[in-house]
């Protein structure tokens, strides 16, 4: 979400996604009193869908403790991921996205003995594909993309998991492009020398 006024559309998409991917229908929603959550459009939609909409008391973020705590956990994860590989802060959105992805694979107290993803889908998620954020990734360059003596791989940086396909998001620090691929070999012990490349 880039703008707060997108909240209603995002919530409608989220509701549809939850209903399509699980056997659950949202029955309650708790938010703060931000204008993006208290619009007539938002309230009417919740009422028409039978969703009880609870609001916090003004200037009382502690009433939204679960969300505040989760946000802090995600930000701490993202901060640690960036620091561990000495990555520039410009990658904070990718780090946050990756942290959210990983947090859905963690066991949670809310659904005893299961991950959030497992509770929604009924399937235990695989973790065999997980890699260390910011690691060096050698991307295989397919035959049609190179000529006879070109390198068969390209050195890139792993910046997360693709949201719409089963692939890895890889960043090329030389040209600034992001690609999605499954044909990758990771070297998790190494990272890009960002200070050298930016001089």
For residue 184, give the CATH number of its domain: 2.30.30
Q: Identify the domain containing residue 64 by its residue range.
A: 4-121
Asked whether residue 128 is domain-assigned, the answer is no
Asked whether residue 23 is domain-assigned, the answer is yes
- Say which residues have a Cβ less than 8 Å from residue 99's Cβ, sequence separation at least 6: 74, 75, 77, 78, 81
Q: Which token pair is 15?
A: 């509701």
How many independent structural domains does the chain possess? 2
Asked whether residue 126 is domain-assigned, the answer is no
d(CA 104, CA 6): 23
Residue 170: the pLDDT is: 97
Asked whether residue 14 is domain-assigned, the answer is yes
Residue 113: the pLDDT is: 76
d(CA 99, CA 91): 12
Same domain (yes/no): 32, 98: yes
Give, for 68, the enclosing helix (H) or strand (E). Answer: helix 65-84
Same domain (yes/no): 100, 160: no
Q: Which token pair is 71?
A: 């946000």
Residue 164: the pLDDT is: 87
β-sheet bridge partners, residue 115: 107
- The label of the residue with tokens 């594909």 reads 129
Same domain (yes/no): 144, 100: no
Burial tier of 62 (Cβ tally within 10 Å: 0-12, 13-18, 19+): exposed
Answering whether pTM is above 0.85, one says no
Residue 149: the pLDDT is: 66
Sites in the chain below the pLDDT cut of 50: 196-199
The last residue of one of the domains, among 90, 121, 152, is: 121
Same domain (yes/no): 28, 105: yes
Residue 18: the pLDDT is: 86
Same domain (yes/no): 60, 34: yes
Residue 119: the pLDDT is: 75
């Amino acid at each position: 979400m880039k703008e707060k006024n997108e909240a209603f559309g995002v919530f409608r998409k989220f509701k549809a996604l939850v209903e399509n991917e699980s056997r659950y229908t949202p029955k309650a929603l708790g938010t703060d009193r931000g204008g993006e959550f208290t619009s007539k459009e938002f309230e009417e939609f919740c009422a028409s869908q039978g969703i009880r909409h609870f609001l916090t008391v003004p200037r009382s973020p502690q009433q939204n403790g679960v969300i505040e705590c989760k946000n802090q956990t995600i930000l701490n994860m993202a901060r640690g991921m960036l620091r561990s590989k000495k990555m520039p802060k410009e990658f904070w959105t990718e780090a946050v996205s990756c942290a959210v992805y990983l947090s859905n694979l963690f066991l949670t107290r809310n659904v005893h003995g299961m991950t959030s993803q497992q509770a929604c889908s009924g399937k235990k998620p695989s973790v065999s594909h997980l890699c260390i954020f910011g690691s060096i990734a050698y991307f295989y360059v397919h035959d049609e993309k190179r000529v006879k003596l070109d390198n068969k791989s390209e050195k890139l940086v792993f910046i997360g998991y693709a949201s719409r396909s089963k692939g890895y998001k890889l960043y090329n620090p030389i040209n600034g492009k992001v690609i999605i691929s499954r044909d990758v070999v990771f070297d998790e012990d190494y990272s890009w020398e960002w200070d050298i490349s930016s001089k």
